[in-house]
């Protein structure tokens, strides 16, 4: 039993520091996985501690005072044992430091708090370390593959950040406010370390910016969140940058060949777009609405930057437009809701679908004309033609070839849009034309539901297949021969002194069939005859008397019609 007890005492004594303590003892009670920085002689440190005697009785604590102990290491501002024990410590490392009297307060002690020849124990947690020679430290951990521009002095930037102390304590974050921090760089609007740390960043870049207190909030700190003499760490992602002197920039142009016409101020443009912020955040698209954005350009109907960028474009052209905030209408921000932050640079990828000017007329280009061209189309003629119809961007609308039959109309009878009327005049049979019709001579602002968008320019490739000469303007029937002097009696088949509708219709149709008269081509002949009868039937009783007929004849004495 005595032998076993002796062994246990010996074992315990080997594991404990010698008493009295004759040298510094350091026990590392917690070591972080990653040691970002270790204390060196000459560094300034901020740490918490609990001071105890070997029996565990506490004689002092920084926690009780609610503030760290801040001091230079190795400059005899501490007791020798602490000066030596802090060297090599990492941020967030915890040590139990046992200091013999000769490295502490020795035989004199310290007032009534620490008796002479006291061994002191300190439970120390290191929170911060920096050196007076430190500058801003930058660690870029993500950089986009394309970096067309970097932050320079006097640029305006928008960025998100998480701000922490060196031990990882969060003191601020723009993410929690769900709003970027927006500021000028290099003109003193930021703490010096951030002013330096943002320079050279690309949009989309992420970096960690570490700065000593001399480039942060210095000896006084900032309120209750940032202690005095604290190093600061900012995890930053840059979302946007521009300079007040910036204008719009146009990139990634794809210009079709040929480009016969470019937009000018006053033109009406239809275009598609995708709108995003400089970091790629999407905010709007005309494609999602399946409808172009239609507007006049150079007249202030769109934001200033877009107004400028839409001048000088071709139909079918694609381009990326970068618009800094000074050139998009600030007063219209409230109209775009929360999708577009204030002071944001806007990027539009646009595709020009078509454009026209309100002064435009139908444009006719003859692509083929037969050698023999004896008759030209005019108002009143009945024409038959084939067409392929499309929009300016080539989108097919319709084609008569799909139906295997011509489209037949009477020119001047408002049976087609005015632009097509213009395009079909003075045309030979067999002639082919390329016709461009502006919307005010086409289907206007409304278009045709499901077929022709509103305000669309129309393109027709037409071929005149056949034509039948019409009657003089204002006539629906004419005589080819001399008019019979007994016209009324010839119509009055039953000799009852009045002409009924059936008698009138039979007579006119007989004259047409015999080649003695002509009805206007392209119309329903019976509707024409009904109208003729109604004009003669002055009292509307459904019969024409000789008196009514004569009266109408007298009124029309200068004409070859009834």
The pLDDT tens digits of the residues spanning 475-494 come to 888 888 888 888 888 888 88
How distant, in Å, are the alpha carbons of 66, 73, 210, 212, 461 from that of 130? 21, 11, 10, 6, 79
Report which secondary-structure segment, H or E, holds 341: none
Is 303 catalytic? The answer is: no
How distant, in Å, are the alpha carbons of 176, 180, 281, 334, 405 from that of 340? 18, 12, 10, 9, 53
Catalytic-labelled residue, pool 50, 60, 222, 478: 60
What is the mean predicted confidence (pLDDT) over 352-373?
A: 95
Closest CA to 502 of 542, 536, 550: 542
- What distance in Å separates the CA atoms of residue 354 and residue 261, rounded to the nearest whole number? 11
Average pLDDT, the chain: 90
Which of the four pLDDT bands, split at 50, 70 and 90, describes residue 9? very low
* Residue 536 main-chain phi, psi, to 5 deg: -80, -30
Range in 34-48, 150-164, 525-539 the model is least confident about: 525-539
Has residue 551 got a pLDDT over 90?
no
pTM recorded for the entire structure: 0.76
Catalytic-labelled residue, pool 26, 50, 69, 79: 79
Which of the four pLDDT bands, split at 50, 70 and 90, describes residue 160? very high
pLDDT for the residue 158: 97
What is the mean predicted confidence (pLDDT) over 411-420?
A: 94
Catalytic-labelled residue, pool 47, 105, 156, 271: 105
For the chain, the farthest-separated pair of C-alpha atoms sits apart, in whole angstroms, at 163
Is 79 catalytic? The answer is: yes
What is the mean predicted confidence (pLDDT) over 538-562?
A: 68
| Percentage of the residues of the chain whose pLDDT score is greater than 70 | 92
**Do the Cβ atoms of 292 and 271 come closer than 8 Å?**
yes
Which of the four pLDDT bands, split at 50, 70 and 90, describes residue 379? very high
Catalytic-labelled residue, pool 44, 47, 122, 181: 122
Looking at the DSSP bridge assignments, the partners of residue 248 are: none
Has residue 330 got a pLDDT over 80?
no
Is 171 catalytic? The answer is: no
> 253 by DSSP, 3-state: which?
strand
Has residue 169 got a pLDDT over 50?
yes
What is the mean predicted confidence (pLDDT) over 146-160?
A: 96
Report which secondary-structure segment, H or E, holds 398: strand 396-399
DSSP labels, 140-202:
EEE--S----B--TT-EEEEEEEEEETT--EEEEHHHHTS-EEEESSSSSS-HHHHHHTTTPB
Which of the four pLDDT bands, split at 50, 70 and 90, describes residue 1? very low
pLDDT for the residue 538: 85
Has residue 392 got a pLDDT over 50?
yes
pLDDT for the residue 288: 95
pLDDT for the residue 244: 92
Which of the four pLDDT bands, split at 50, 70 and 90, describes residue 327? low
Catalytic-labelled residue, pool 26, 50, 53, 59: 59
Is 255 catalytic? The answer is: no
The pLDDT tens digits of the residues spanning 453-478 come to 999 999 999 999 999 998 888 788 88
Is 156 catalytic? The answer is: no
Catalytic-labelled residue, pool 43, 44, 47, 49: 49
Q: What is the number of residues in the chain? A: 562
Has residue 335 got a pLDDT over 50?
no
- What distance in Å separates the CA atoms of residue 104 and residue 177, rounded to the nearest whole number? 49
Is 296 catalytic? The answer is: no
The pLDDT tens digits of the residues spanning 79-135 come to 999 999 999 999 999 999 999 999 999 999 999 999 999 999 999 999 999 999 999
The pLDDT tens digits of the residues spanning 229-238 come to 999 999 999 9
pLDDT for the residue 281: 92
The pLDDT tens digits of the residues spanning 233-270 come to 999 999 999 999 999 999 888 999 989 899 999 999 99
Which of the four pLDDT bands, split at 50, 70 and 90, describes residue 562? low
Q: For strand 69-72 and strand 58-61, is the pairing parallel, antiparallel, or unpaired?
A: unpaired
- What distance in Å separates the CA atoms of residue 40 and residue 89, rounded to the nearest whole number? 9
The pLDDT tens digits of the residues spanning 188-227 come to 999 999 999 999 999 999 999 999 999 999 999 998 899 9
Range in 25-29, 158-162, 529-533, 546-550 the model is least confident about: 546-550
- What distance in Å separates the CA atoms of residue 235 and residue 194, rounded to the nearest whole number? 11
Bond from prior residue into 410 cis (ω within 30 degrees of 0)? no
DSSP labels, 200-227:
TPBTT-EEEEEE-GGGTTTTT-BTTTB-
Range in 3-17, 57-71, 104-118, 160-174 the model is least confident about: 3-17
Report which secondary-structure segment, H or E, holds 491: helix 487-491
């Amino acid at each position: 039993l005595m032998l076993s007890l002796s062994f246990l005492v010996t074992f315990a004594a080997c594991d404990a520091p010698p008493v009295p303590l004759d040298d510094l003892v350091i026990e590392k009670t917690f070591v972080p996985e990653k040691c970002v920085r270790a204390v060196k002689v000459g560094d300034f440190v901020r740490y918490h501690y609990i001071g105890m005697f070997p029996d565990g009785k506490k004689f002092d604590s920084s926690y009780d005072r609610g503030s760290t102990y801040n001091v230079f290491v190795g400059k005899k501002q501490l007791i020798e044992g602490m000066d030596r024990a802090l060297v090599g410590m990492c941020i967030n490392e915890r040590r139990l430091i046992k200091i013999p009297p000769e490295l502490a307060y020795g035989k004199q002690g310290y007032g009534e708090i620490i008796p002479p020849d006291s061994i002191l124990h300190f439970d120390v947690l290191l929170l911060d370390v920096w050196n007076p020679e430190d500058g801003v430290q930058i660690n870029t951990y993500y950089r986009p593959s394309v970096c067309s521009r970097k932050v320079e002095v006097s640029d305006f930037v928008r960025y998100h950040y998480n701000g922490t102390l060196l031990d990882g304590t969060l003191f601020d974050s723009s993410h929690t406010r769900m709003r970027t921090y927006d500021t000028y760089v290099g003109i003193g609007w930021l703490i010096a370390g951030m002013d330096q740390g943002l320079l050279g960043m690309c949009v989309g870049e992420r970096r960690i910016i570490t700065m000593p207190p001399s480039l942060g909030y210095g000896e006084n700190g900032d309120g209750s969140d940032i202690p005095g003499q604290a190093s600061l760490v900012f995890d930053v992602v840059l979302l946007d940058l521009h300079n007040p002197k910036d204008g719009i920039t146009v990139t990634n142009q794809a210009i079709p060949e040929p480009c016969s016409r470019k937009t000018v101020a006053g033109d009406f443009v239809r275009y598609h777009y995708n709108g995003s912020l400089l970091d790629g955040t999407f905010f709007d698209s005309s494609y999602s609405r399946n409808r172009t954005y239609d507007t006049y350009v150079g007249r202030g109907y769109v934001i200033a930057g877009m107004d400028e960028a839409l001048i000088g474009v071709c139909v079918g052209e694609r381009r990326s437009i970068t618009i800094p905030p000074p050139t998009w209408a600030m007063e219209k921000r409230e109209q775009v809701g929360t999708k577009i932050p204030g002071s944001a640079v806007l990027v539009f990828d646009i595709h020009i679908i078509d454009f026209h000017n309100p002064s435009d007329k139908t444009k006719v280009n003859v692509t083929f004309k037969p050698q023999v061209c004896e008759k030209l189309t005019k108002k009143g003629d009945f024409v038959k033609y084939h067409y392929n119809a499309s929009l300016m961007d080539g989108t097919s609308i319709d084609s008569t070839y799909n139906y295997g039959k011509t489209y037949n109309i009477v020119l001047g009878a408002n049976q087609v849009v005015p632009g097509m009327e213009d395009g079909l005049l003075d045309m030979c049979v067999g002639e082919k034309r390329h016709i461009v019709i502006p919307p005010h001579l086409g289907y206007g602002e409304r278009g045709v539901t499901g077929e022709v968008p509103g305000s669309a320019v129309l393109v027709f490739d037409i071929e005149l297949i056949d034509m039948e000469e019409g009657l003089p303007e204002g006539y629906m029937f004419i005589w080819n021969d001399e008019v019979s002097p007994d016209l009324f009696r010839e119509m009055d088949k039953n000799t009852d002194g009045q002409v009924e509708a059936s008698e009138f219709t039979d007579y006119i149709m007989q004259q047409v069939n015999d080649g003695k008269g002509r009805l206007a081509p392209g119309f329903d002949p019976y509707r024409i005859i009904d109208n003729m009868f109604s004009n003669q039937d002055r009292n509307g009783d459904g019969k024409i008397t000789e008196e009514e007929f004569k009266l109408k004849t007298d009124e029309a004495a200068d004409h070859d019609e009834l």
